[in-house]
Amino acid sequence: MRSICGNIVDMSSLQSTTDEVLRLAAEHFKVPREQLTPDDDFFKKLGINSLQALDLLTRIEHHFHIELPDYELQGVSDFRTLAERIQLRL
Amino acid sequence: MKTFPGKALSWRVEDGAIELTLDYPPCNEIGLAMLAELEQFVSALSSLRTEAHALIISSARSEGFCAGGDLRELFRLSQQVTGAKRLSGLRDFIERIHAVMNALDEAPFTTIAAVNGLTFGGGFELALTCDLIIADKMARFCFPELRLGLIPGFGGIPRLKRDLGNGVVRDLVLTGRSINAAKAQTAGIVSQVTAEGDALRVARQTAAQLKKFDRNTALAAKRFIKPIPYDELRREIEIFCELFMRPAVEKGLRKFVESKDALPYLP
């Protein structure tokens, strides 16, 4: 267990969410999955801008059946933190 | 004019439906070029009326339906003049946009926005003039104007208020967050959500269904269901122009223009 923004999060489900995010990003932006790690800056590693990041956000919302307001992602640029924000909405 | 191949948009009549296609890189931003051709389109509406029973507005750009006003052009033009001239230039542009949006809103047939990808600011406002919005599931809607120190200025708030509960309007305008097509459908903005890349096909099918009904009855229903909120639209122009003249807006626009990112005002 780990505390994220004051919420207790199960580490194994966070790991699985992180894996899913990495898989989605690799698939959509056509990057080999093995080249992505949780601590990567997704803007730099995927070579994307904010428009493409919004596209990723929409895919994440569909995939996890969640609503994730973009202001909750302010300052988020690595996959691990992105997965943590998703986990809080699951 | 049955067909029109413009620089920012084109239109043609297909199976009794007018298809207006926006195609102006990067994402159909509404500046002087797009506005001039939209004006040409609305002046052709009365002659197109005899040939068509429906209008479909869509985008040829994979990035989205329309990213809104051309902020880079707006900033550049506003820097060329100061004070009263800046205000009168802005007011002239906004009045022209409102005239186009009002003409589309009251078009004498059923109108459908087939939207994909980015449907932001002025693009969202353009979609809201239509009677139906059919959205690709990857479409995303947003009013980011508050992040620039402005309010939506192309008729967005009065039209959104016409369609939705005030709580949803406040959420979208005051937080400036973007929502996906499924959320927009739940909120009552979007009538149908389609598979990725399928919005135009579904819009065409919907237009074919509309052909079955008496056009005068459909028009009477439309006018009854969807009155145009003229008073609020006038008030919006005043608020927008007043806000635009503040230094905070110039600062926000400068930041936008100097950034190389596609959507620098977003997180």
Q: What does the alpha-carbon distance between residue B110 and residue B208 come to, in Å, rounded to a whole number? A: 11
Interface touch B267/A61, C-beta < 8 Å = no
Token readout for B169 is 């309007």
Interface touch B180/A55, C-beta < 8 Å = no
Q: What does the alpha-carbon distance between residue B162 and residue B236 come to, in Å, rounded to a whole number? A: 14
Q: What does the alpha-carbon distance between residue A81 and residue B91 come to, in Å, rounded to a whole number? A: 44
What is the H or E stretch that residue B14 is in?
Answer: strand B9-14
For residue B217, give the 3-state DSSP assignment. Answer: helix
Most B-contacting residue of A43, A58, A82 (CB-CB within 10 A), to test interface: A58
> pLDDT tens-digit profile of A36-60?
999 999 999 999 988 888 899 999 9
Q: What is the pLDDT of residue A40?
A: 94
* CA angle, residues B210, B211, B214, in degrees to nearest 5: 90
Interface touch A58/B138, C-beta < 8 Å = yes
Q: What is the pLDDT of residue B106?
A: 95
Asked: is B2-258 a CATH 3.40.640.10 domain? The reply is no
Nearest neighbour of B177 by CB, restricted to A49, A55, A70: A70
Q: What is the pLDDT of residue A4?
A: 67
Q: Where are the alpha helices (DSSP H) in B164-246?
A: 166-175, 181-187, 199-210, 215-225, 230-244
Hey, how many other C-beta atoms are within 10 angstroms of the C-beta on A39? 10
Q: Taking a C-beta distance cutoff of 8 angstroms, is the pair B142, B121 a contact?
A: yes
Report chain A residues whose CB lies below 8 A from the CB of B267. Answer: 50, 70-71, 73-76
- Reported pTM: 0.92
> pLDDT tens-digit profile of B118-176?
999 999 999 999 999 999 999 999 999 998 899 999 999 999 999 998 899 999 999 99
Please enumerate in sequence order all residues whose Cβ is within 8 A of that of B47, keeping only pairs 6 or more positions apart, or say none. B1
Q: What is the pLDDT of residue B256?
A: 86
Q: What is the pLDDT of residue B123?
A: 98
Q: What does the alpha-carbon distance between residue A46 and residue A52 come to, in Å, rounded to a whole number? A: 10
Distance from CA of A26 to the nearest CA of B (A): 18
Q: Taking a C-beta distance cutoff of 8 angstroms, is the pair B177, A70 a contact?
A: yes
Q: What does the alpha-carbon distance between residue B90 and residue B87 come to, in Å, rounded to a whole number? A: 5
Which CA distances in Å does B41 have to A21, B12, B121, B157, B208? 44, 11, 21, 24, 22
Closest CA to B136 of A26, A58, A64: A58
Q: Which residue has the tokens 């074919």?
A: B208
Q: Taking a C-beta distance cutoff of 8 angstroms, is the pair B151, B239 a contact?
A: yes
- In angstroms, the first-to-last Cα distance of chain A is 15
Q: Are strands A7-9 and A2-4 parallel, antiparallel or unpaired?
A: antiparallel
Name the residues of B annotated as catalytic: 125, 145
Query: What letter does residue B69 receive in the DSSP assignment?
Result: B
Q: How confident is the model at residue A6 (pLDDT cuts 50, 70, 90)?
A: low
The answer, yes or no, to whether residue A17 has pLDDT greater than 80, is yes
Q: Based on DSSP, count helices (H) and strands (E) in chain B, helices before strands.
A: 11, 11
Interface touch A50/B264, C-beta < 8 Å = yes
Q: What is the ipTM of this complex?
A: 0.83
Which CA distances in Å does B19 have to A10, B25, B111, B192, B223? 51, 19, 10, 18, 22
Which CA distances in Å does B120 have to A38, B125, B157, B180? 31, 8, 13, 11
Q: What is the pLDDT of residue B165?
A: 87
> pLDDT tens-digit profile of B224-233?
999 999 999 9
Q: What is the pLDDT of residue B266?
A: 65
Which CA distances in Å does A14 have to A75, A85, B124? 20, 10, 35
* Interface list for A 20-59 with B (CB within 8 A): 49-52, 54-55, 57-59
For residue A11, give the 3-state DSSP assignment. Answer: helix
Whether the CA torsion B130, B134, B135, B136 is positive or negative: it is negative
Q: What does the alpha-carbon distance between residue B190 and residue B133 come to, in Å, rounded to a whole number? A: 5
Residue ranges for chain B with pLDDT beneath 70 = 1, 262-263, 265-267
